[in-house]
Amino acid sequence: MLRLIEDAIELSRAAMGATDKRSVARSLLLDSFAVLALTRMREAARRYHVIGLNRMLRLTQTALYGIEIGKEVEMGPGVYFVHTVGTVVGGTARIGARVRFMGNNTIGTAKDNGCPVLEEDVVVGCGARVLGPVRVGARATIGANAVVLNDVPPDSVVVGSPARPIPRERAKHAEATPASDS
């Protein structure tokens, strides 16, 4: 129960930028909280050896939210699935606190050579893939449709396939500049 309270508080911080009572209560209504609650129930079912419950909850999670989370994945508090559909977190991946998944992401391995570690407050853009034994540093941003195959330093922005870092100043400028109609 304490883990779910921590999830609600950290999810509120990730989703709404606040941890007041009203924001925490609103975070309980997010699909992301339901996914976290199901994941915590799956962890408890495995810990207490309740046969079949983990599988039933995994199938429920996949059917209702379109998300697949492996049984060996470690998730920190307040992981925020902005859009759950198409997201796969597999293998032995470790996801830090308040990591935000924008949707249709794959986190795992393609060659059984190890799984990613995403540190705290990472943002994973729509359609991004993080594959293999890589570490994504705290507060890094992975751009939409990026394919991350190498370590990402903290506080950086990576884009492309394969992903490569771009300076934060250039990333901020790209966000602030409206697209031209020419």
Segment holding 169, helix H or strand E:
helix 168-176
Residue length of the chain: 182
The continuous run of DSSP H or E covering 135 comes out as strand 135-136
Return the closest-CA partner of residue 122 out of 87, 149, 157, 170: 157
Whether 156 and 136 have beta carbons less than 8 Å apart is answered as no
Beta bridge partners of residue 1, listed in sequence order? none
Do 83 and 102 contact (CB within 8 A), yes or no? yes
Tokens of 172: 């901020």
Catalytic residue among 26, 40, 71, 83: 83
The answer to whether 173 is a known catalytic residue is no
- Residues annotated as part of the active site: 83
